Structure 1
């Protein structure tokens, strides 16, 4: 078996390879560290706005991804040191084995990451549908389950949203139970139907007048529900909460830009692997030739060690 793609590399060329490999490893470390921090942010965000019924499933997904990204960042970090050691004529005899183990570990981890993100990219719609069903159930339990009431009020007040897909979700939900409020979800007054009441947390904080969220409390303003319904809606948040809540989680889990990031990370890994092999073999061969600063051949694969010549 002959050498695979042999190249004669000068000392200057080896220095350039060293810097290029170090930059590739550093870039990989930064990429995966950034994705780790993004996943940690999503964990904190999800813990704040998701109900306790939905939290365990999302925790397993995001924590698994955070662990994978952190593991890759940690694996690539020593690459900068290994790049420098590849040019050292005095590196330990076992360095070649250490380098091979590191390259194998990063390759396996990269393969696992590519497969994992590819599989997860198709599950965003399922996760959104799960959140949608869960929040609709939470609307119906608003007056009977304090955990859902606290969760929905926090989300609607903090994220400036109302309902699941919009404020009219409250009109379609049986959250106003007659046993609690002695009212129906729609109130008949003067032969016309008044839209259902919505929680106070749907009110716009910056609205300059009284928030028109509850006709029972604002009976003196009841004519606005008939004469100026647009003013009623102007005082309330119109955006639904489910898309606002799921967006940071979806970004962390499913990475809309992953189709660009995956090829970039994979190309960097392949380039780093090739550079490491050429750099190490050329440096080792220069030592065997008796002149560590001389031009020496490097290769990707060879059938035995020490088969070098000065040509």
Structure 2
């Protein structure tokens, strides 16, 4: 095919590469947030999350594979003559690309409708983790790591730890507004005296049992811990992930519209060039060329400019008749 403007093939290739890179970004962003969100869930809820994100992975892979293969397709099309089959191929390719982008938006709409389900699953998982904090070492490590890195405490707030059935109730001489029973992982990073109560002292020995047993959690203050819950952080991360996906899908749609415009313009220019418009076909020197169609039983000869300028050019007759003496021969004069 002819390039309707300078470096048309370069612009088409750049748009295809950008679309493939957007697909790669969608896969990478989904993998990163999949790891972040899975830290709040157990194995069962993680499978539920993977089920919702699997279609996002497929969408990104489809963008990469489709537009990387499209680069090879366009490179081969530039070397071929524009025929009705080529125009049909480009039309089908545009339709298939639009279907992929549409399915991506439908997948994101499904994820948007499932935000409430994922939030409820995370709430259930984290609440179960508080109940199993001492009986399941995996949950203890998960909660401590989550609260230290995300700087949160409890599901909705630090009070979730105090409401646990296994948690000892604070003594009467502590004020509820100041005394808090929570893991050390809830302590603020800027608190210097937060871990002072972790050192055994005279007040931590239970003399009635004759041992050095202590309460499972020391008494902390509200000012020394993170009071915000971990579930709001999960929700904000989930919404942030959804907004990033929506922005990437919008970018892919924008570049697809540019590809559609370029493709339609190229097809239109090919249609003009294949007709009787001399401006569509030119030789190496920029002179217009004329396409002459002739029957299959007529041989073609090449006449140079010097022959056209000469008055002594001989008349050439060609005969393509059956070898019969009584039949007359029809002559074709150029």
TM-score of the superposed pair, with normalisation by structure 1: 0.69
**RMSD, matched Cα:** 3.7
Report which of the two has the higher share of helix. 1
The answer on whether the counterparts of 1:128 and 1:246 sit within 8 Å (CA) in structure 2 is: yes
Output the CA distance in 2 between the equivalents of 1:88 and 1:48.
52
The answer on whether the counterparts of 1:86 and 1:283 sit within 8 Å (CA) in structure 2 is: no
Partner of residue 197, structure 1:
181
Out of 267, 279, 300, which is 2:266 matched to? 279
Cα 1:159/1:69, change in 2 over 3 Å? same
Partner of residue 268, structure 1:
255
Partner of residue 243, structure 1:
232
Partner of residue 255, structure 1:
243
> Deviations for 1:113-162, whole angstroms, at most 9, x for unmatched residues?
12221232232233223312331232222223333222212211222211
Output the CA distance in 1 between the equivalents of 2:287 and 2:125.
67
Partner of residue 180, structure 1:
none
Q: How does 1:142-181 map to 2 (within 5 A)?
A: 142-176=133-167
The answer on whether the counterparts of 1:18 and 1:279 sit within 8 Å (CA) in structure 2 is: no
> Deviations for 1:58-86, whole angstroms, at most 9, x for unmatched residues?
12222331222121122122334444444
**Structure with greater contact order relative to length (CA < 8 Å, sep ≥ 6):** 1
Gaps of 5+ in 1: 1-9, 177-183, 222-230, 297-311
Output the CA distance in 2 between the equivalents of 1:16 and 1:47.
47
The answer on whether the counterparts of 1:283 and 1:292 sit within 8 Å (CA) in structure 2 is: no
Partner of residue 234, structure 1:
223
> In structure 2, the residue corresponding to 1:77 is in which secondary structure?
helix
> In structure 2, the residue corresponding to 1:70 is in which secondary structure?
helix
TM-score of the superposed pair, with normalisation by structure 2: 0.65
Q: How many residues align?
A: 267
Q: How does 1:1-311 map to 2 (within 5 A)?
A: 13-15=4-6, 17-89=8-80, 96=87, 98-176=89-167, 184-189=168-173, 195-211=179-195, 220=203, 232-252=221-241, 254-255=242-243, 258=246, 261-280=248-267, 282-283=269-270, 286=273, 291=281
Output the CA distance in 2 between the equivalents of 1:204 and 1:128.
25
